[in-house]
């Protein structure tokens, strides 16, 4: 069985714009730090990877089979995000259209 680390390293990232978006880096860093604190306080066995496949990837090694969680962080100067905006046609994101879902769904 291929390890989560080997699988993650074997699939090229779908975008490279994340590291260049410095104006949003502060929010992403703060959000990621809060996530790290949460994982640490729960005592989880985890690895956090930033700006590789998505803004943040967490490999949760607490289970027998590691779990990969992909986080895509969004900011918007036009206002706050709500459910209606997130599921609108302009921003729609469903697993069946996401390359991460297609690349990793068959690894378990």
Q: By the 8 A CB rule, do 14 and 102 touch?
A: no
pLDDT given at position 108: 45
At CA 36, angle to CA 32 and CA 57, rounded to 5? 60
pTM of the predicted structure, to 2 decimals:
0.60
Q: What is d(CA 91, CA 20) in angstroms, rounded to the nearest whole number?
A: 21
Q: Which residue positions in the chain have pLDDT lower than 50? A: 107-108
Q: Output the six-digit token pair for 67.
A: 């779990």
pLDDT tens-place string over residues 18-29: 655 666 677 888
pLDDT given at position 34: 92
Half-sphere exposure of 71 (CA within 13 A, CB side): 16
């Amino acid at each position: 069985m291929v390890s989560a680390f080997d699988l993650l390293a074997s699939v090229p990232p779908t975008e490279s714009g994340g590291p260049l978006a410095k104006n949003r880096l502060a929010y992403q860093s703060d959000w990621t730090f809060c996530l790290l604190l949460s994982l640490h306080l729960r005592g989880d066995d985890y690895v956090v990877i930033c700006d590789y496949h998505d803004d943040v990837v967490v490999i949760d090694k607490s289970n027998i089979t590691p779990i990969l969680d992909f986080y895509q962080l969004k900011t918007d100067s036009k206002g706050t995000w709500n459910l209606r905006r997130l599921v609108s046609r302009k921003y729609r994101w469903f697993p069946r259209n996401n390359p991460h879902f297609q690349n990793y769904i068959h690894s378990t």
